Chains A and B, each alone.
Chain A
Amino acid sequence: MSATHARILVDGASRLRFAPHVKFRHDETRARWVVLAPERLLLPDDLAVEILKLVDGARDIAGIVDDLARRFEAPRDVIEADVTAMLQDLVDKGMLAP
């Protein structure tokens, strides 16, 4: 299997963005955020939306966790575990990429 066929593992230094042809946008009809992807459609909950809004290709995961820990006044290690697991899952599904 070639190098392009390796799983990407995320960590605090990973800078992620939405993969090409994956759209994160606000749907006026349902008044909520949606993720549109090839034959997939996600309706993220409020917390997931807050995380995804910070996925911009510039910020690293550590920065995203710092931001959320400050705003939600929650323990950093708890936030870090949740955020990393969610973003790893979306990378595995091809929705996010470095």
Chain B
Amino acid sequence: MSAEIGPPLALLAELTHRCPLRCPYCSNPLALERASAELDEAGWRRVLSEAAALGVLQVHFSGGEPLVRRDLAALVRHAAVAGLYSNLITSGVLLDRARLDELVEAGLEHVQLSFQDAEPASADRIAGLADAHRRKLAAAALVREAGLPLTVNAVMHRQNLERLPEMIALALALGAKRLEVAHVQYYGWALANRRALLPTVEQLERASALVEDARVRLKGVLVIDYVVPDYYARRPKACMGGWGRQFLNVSPAGTVLPCHAAESLPGFDFPSVRSASLADIWYRSDAFNRYRGTSWMPDPCRSCDRREIDWGGCRCQAFALTGDAGRTDPACALAPDRGLLDAARQDAAAPPGEFVYRQIGAVAEAR
């Protein structure tokens, strides 16, 4: 099988799990790494060099909040020298002009800034941080003044979905060229908060119609990426473009994963950059080969004519809902476990529970 494995296109470098925000849908795992466990600057430099040599073209510096790392600009510079196109995924609350100038000078190409809502009080409540929204607006202005392209990342759920028009207007007002309207995906923290976050089908349909209309109206002005929540999809998403096909993720501690949520899967010994090269891990590790391609698939995936389009969907979702990462993703209408989603969707009709905010050292009670 190794003959058909191409080099990865992109690296998600999760420099840290530390973050001043406490969003209840954070994509980090429930068990967050402490600062003492993080790879040091020399370790990350080696990861970036190996990634470039392996064929990675783009690096996404993410977290947690990557700006808590004082060596961020040095790592951006290292990436640029290695020929990697670098993107910063940030909450923006720690960005000031001096930090941004340093990053631009180091060769940063693009900033993706998250917004929790268009309404400041609600945004700050969802982020779990006072004054966060105002600081993000200031960060967006700095990014545009510096001449960097800006993407607004709007994570949507039942507590902010009705303000989608205001989110689109906000992206335009900030001078963003791209807007990601990303419905929450339910793993990790978001799964623990599903009752508080999952929209109803009516809310979702209104949002989808609105995005379609805005895409036509704003063609050539604002590119809108739209991620529908799996819970209301008929076919699963091609998670990460397929397991071990295009993408690798390095966690703050140096663990290498096929996607940022994969650490939740049991029965894996995910390799570390502390003990193996990225090339070895990408081409030869059990973890990357286990769900690669199509030969691992059960039916109905194995005989499905979409098997090389959606690649069996998401392994983490299959595990979160069925307890077996090798099952067909229940997001597919053909999945034997599809009924599990019908039950989950009833969460959307229940009163929203309180948020379980993300924090280091907390153990979330799932659902």
The chain A residues found within 8 Å of chain B, CB to CB, are: 1, 5-8, 19-21, 23, 27, 29-30, 34, 36, 38-39, 41, 91-94
Contact = CB atoms under 8 A, between A and B. Distances in A.
A1 B58 CA distance: 33
B70 interface: no
Contact of B110 (A27, A30, A38, A91): A38
Given A30-B6, A30-B55, A39-B110, 7 more contacts: A1-B172, A6-B221, A7-B219, A20-B147, A29-B54, A41-B58, A94-B223
A19 B220 CA distance: 13
A46 B213 CA distance: 34
Nearest to B52: A29
Given A20-B149, A36-B85, A94-B177, A5 B7 contact: no
29 contacts: A1-B172, A5-B172, A6-B221, A7-B220, A20-B147, A20-B149, A21-B149, A23-B109, A27-B57, A29-B54, A29-B55, A30-B7, A30-B55, A36-B85, A36-B109, A38-B110, A38-B112, A38-B178, A39-B60, A39-B87, A39-B110, A39-B112, A39-B178, A41-B58, A91-B220, A92-B219, A93-B223, A94-B149, A94-B178
Interface residues of B, number: 25
Interface in B87-121: 87, 109-110, 112
Contacts of A7: 219-221
Contact of B151 (A8, A27, A29, A39): A39
A38 B151 contact: yes
Nearest to B56: A29
Given A21-B149, A36-B58, A38-B178, A5 B112 contact: no
Contacts of A5: 172, 221
A34 to B, nearest CB: 6
Interface in B224-251: none
Contacts of A29: 7, 54-55
Interface of B: 6-7, 9-10, 54-55, 57-58, 60, 85, 87, 109-110, 112, 147-149, 151, 172, 177-178, 219-221, 223
Contacts of A41: 9-10, 57-58
A34 B9 CA distance: 11
Given A21-B148, A39-B151, A34 B109 contact: no
A96 B149 CA distance: 13
Identify the interface centre among A5, A6, A21, A38: most chain B CB within 10 Å of its CB: A38
Nearest to A36: B85
B223 to A, nearest CB: 6
B245 to A, nearest CB: 13
A36 B57 contact: yes
B176 to A, nearest CB: 10
B50 to A, nearest CB: 13
A65 to B, nearest CB: 21
A94 B60 CA distance: 20
A49 B329 CA distance: 38
Contacts of A8: 220
B66 to A, nearest CB: 15
A7 B147 CA distance: 20
Contacts of B110: 21, 38-39
Nearest to B84: A36
Contacts of A1: 172, 221
Closest 10 CB pairs of A and B: A7-B220, A29-B55, A38-B110, A36-B85, A92-B220, A21-B109, A94-B177, A38-B149, A5-B221, A21-B149
